[in-house]
Structures are given as structure tokens and as C-alpha cells.
Structure 1
Amino acid sequence: MKIGFLGGSFDPVHFGHLIAAQDVLEQFHLDRLLLVPAAQAPLKPNDIQSTVEDRLAMLRSATEWDRRLEISDYELRKGGISYTVDSVRHFRTQFPGDELFWIIGGDQLPLLHKWKEIGALVRLIDFIFLERPKHPTKPHVEIDGLRLHRCDGHLIEISSSELRSRVQAGRSLHYFCPQKVIAYIESRKLYR
């Protein structure tokens, strides 16, 4: 099987995340795609404002109808800083004979050399990168053994931090997030 993993804070999940997932599913003919919310991202220490429960509930409400997408709460249950190499080792034991892909935004390529145990990580999994608006990608990365695949996706400029700022300013999230996510944010008074 071909299995993809899309990590992130998902605080909140938005159409940029979901369209990226769909683009990768379709272009790489993945059998499964797991969304992997981070407990705490090492290179974005202040990126999470909602509780684990709230982020999981928003992800579930955004994807519950789509059987192609699954949610892994592995990093949330583990807690602490979420290092990709630790998660990939875990997933590699769960899916030992499968072809695994870690999906990243193109803006992460220049930072990839800073990832924990990147040499070990690239031996465990292939990477798929998507370009992000305002972050032109230079796919030439000097990491021995890196297997890097480009996904030509729909470039949508949305960030979770921008959406949190919109809520704080009293502005609408309509057309940025699924309606169920917006309703959840409003009901829980998140990001205020």
C-alpha cells in the first residue's frame, strides 16, 4: 500500500490543509492518507493555542464524511515535542511493508536539514512537497538519500495563524474553513 502522512498543528484545520491532502491523494494514487496533529512542533513552538481535544474535534468535523482521510492521534497521545523521525519510526512498525510518504509544504524544504536525525529519517520514508504561496520552492536540497517528490497542487494562501487573528479581530472564517469547523470554533469561543 501507498500511505501518506500530513502533519501539522491544524489549529484550526482549513481548506488549505484539506485541498493539499486531496491533491496528494489524487496525484500519487495513495491508498490511505493520515492527518497527524502535532502535540508541539519543534520549529514552531508557539503555533498551538487550542487544546488537544479541540483540535481533534475540529479535524474530525472537517473530515468525518471523507473515507479517504484518517486521523492519527499518535503524536498527541505521546505528548511533548513532536519530532517527525519518532513518528515515522512508529508508523514504520505499523506499516512495515508499505510505501510511506511524509507530506510537507515547500516552505519546509530549506529547513529540512534542521530536522532531528534527518539522515535516519530519509532512510525510513519518502517526502512529498507542495509549493506554498509566497514561498517559491528550490527543490534542490543537499541531504544524502533524500527521496523527494513534487506535488503540483492548488496553491491556496491560508494559514492557521492568520485565521486565529481573523477570529481575534471579529472577522469571518467563511470560505476559509469547513462550516462545521467554524461552528465548533464559535461554540467553544476559541481564539478569542
Structure 2
Amino acid sequence: MKIGLYFGTFNPIHIGHLTIANHLAEHSDLDQVWFVVTPQSPFKKKSTLLDDHQRLEMVYRATKDYTKLRPSDIEFGLKQPNYTIDTLTYLEEKFPEYEFSLIMGEDNLKSFHKWKNYELILNNHNIYVYPRLSKGKIETQFNDHPKIHHVDAPIMELSSTFIRKSIKAGKNIRPMLPEHVWEYVDEMNFYK
């Protein structure tokens, strides 16, 4: 079985995340997409994040009606800060029958050469790259790499940061979140 790993803080998960994941699950050779909820990103201040389990709950609520999309808390038990290569190694040991691939935005491909053990990731895993709005194609050293697959997924320029700021400002963002996620965010008064 081929599993695509979609990493993120999902703070909150929104319709853009869901659209891209579902597109890959339906229009690529991936059998499932797992939303790997990141407990702590070295690039984000921890204080802006909701509790790990609250974000996992939002991902669970967003994906529960989709058979090919799954939430994953696999990184919660790993040493922090965690690197993608460590997660992949752990998953390969835990699920030797699965083939794991990465899902990333085109903008992340630009800095991929700075990731820990990126060559090892590329040797052993496919990477599915979804487009971002940019002026022309983003040129990287990986553009013609056989393990990198550019996917013609819908371009979703919606950010969790924009959603959080809008909630804080009292705006109605209901159409931007999956229904079950909106209900949870509203009920818990998150981001206000």
C-alpha cells in the first residue's frame, strides 16, 4: 500500500489542506494520505500552536468522512525537535508493508536541500509536489529528479495564519474550514 505523508501543524486544518490531500488520494497512485500532525516545528513559535491533541482532534474531525484520508499522531512520541528522516525511519520499521512518500508544496522544494539527510529521503521515497501561486515555475536542483512528481493539484492559497487572524478579528471564516472543524473551533472558542 502506498501512503502519502502530509506533514503540518494544521493549526487549524482547512479546506485547502483537505482539497490537496483528497486530490492526491484520488488522482495519483497513492492509496491513502496521512495528515502527520507535527508537535513542534523549529520554524514556528510554540506559543501560537494549540495543544497537540486539539490539533489532532481537528484533523480527525476533518478526515473522518474520507476513507482515504487519515490523521496521524506518529510524531507525538518521537524525540523533539524531530526531523522528517527520523519519522520516515520510524514508520518504515513500524509498517514494513507500506511504501511511504512525502507530500509538499512547491515552495518547500526550494529549501529541500537543507533538510537533514535529504539525499537519503530522495533515494528511498517519492515526493509529490503540489503547485503554489508564484511568478512562473520555481526552479530547483530537483526539477528533473525521477523521484519528484509534480502534481497538477488545485492551487489553494489559504493559510492557517489568515484563518487565525480572521477569527481573532471576529470575521466569519466558516466556509474555509471543514464543517466538523468549524463546529469544534467555535465550540472551544479557539483563536479568539
Is the shorter-chain TM-score for this pair beyond 0.5, marking a shared fold? yes
Give the deviation of 1:163 after TM superposition: 0.7
Give the aligned partner of residue 77 of structure 1: 77
Tell me the secondary structure at the aligned position of residue 175 of structure 1. helix
Q: Tell me the TM-score normalized by structure 2.
A: 0.90
Query: Deviations for 1:36-57, whole angstroms, at most 9, x for unmatched residues?
Result: 0111123x22275200121011
Give the deviation of 1:97 after TM superposition: 4.7
1:14–1:177 contact (8 Å) kept in structure 2: yes
Classify 1:64/1:135 alpha carbon distance in 2 versus 1 (closer, same or farther; 3 Å). farther
Q: Quick one: distance in 1 between partners of 2:45 and 2:120?
A: 27
Give the aligned partner of residue 44 of structure 2: 45
Give the deviation of 1:101 after TM superposition: 1.1
Q: Which moved more, 1:152-161 or 1:118-127?
A: 118-127
Q: Quick one: distance in 1 between partners of 2:87 and 2:150?
A: 22
Match status 1:158 vs 2:155: no
Classify 1:87/1:186 alpha carbon distance in 2 versus 1 (closer, same or farther; 3 Å). same
Whichever residue aligns with residue 155 of structure 2, its letter is: L
Give the aligned partner of residue 9 of structure 1: 9
Q: Tell me the TM-score normalized by structure 1.
A: 0.90
Query: Deviations for 1:59-116, whole angstroms, at most 9, x for unmatched residues?
Result: 1111111111112101123252231111111122233354321000111011101111
1:2–1:31 contact (8 Å) kept in structure 2: yes
Query: Deviations for 1:132-171, whole angstroms, at most 9, x for unmatched residues?
Result: 224754254259x771001101112101111111111111
Tell me the secondary structure at the aligned position of residue 7 of structure 1. strand
Give the aligned partner of residue 92 of structure 1: 92
Gaps of 5+ in 2: none
2:5–2:101 contact (8 Å) kept in structure 1: yes
Classify 1:137/1:115 alpha carbon distance in 2 versus 1 (closer, same or farther; 3 Å). farther
Tell me the secondary structure at the aligned position of residue 111 of structure 2. helix
Give the aligned partner of residue 121 of structure 1: 121
Gaps of 5+ in 1: none
Whichever residue aligns with residue 46 of structure 1, its letter is: K
Whichever residue aligns with residue 128 of structure 1, its letter is: Y
Give the aligned partner of residue 174 of structure 1: 174
Match status 1:58 vs 2:58: yes
Give the aligned partner of residue 26 of structure 2: 26
Give the deviation of 1:128 after TM superposition: 0.6
Q: Quick one: distance in 2 between partners of 1:161 and 1:33?
A: 23
Aligned Cα root-mean-square deviation (Å): 2.2
Q: Which moved more, 1:79-88 or 1:4-13?
A: 79-88
Q: Quick one: distance in 1 between partners of 2:88 and 2:125?
A: 7
Give the aligned partner of residue 67 of structure 1: 67
Q: Quick one: distance in 2 between partners of 1:158 and 1:147?
A: 27
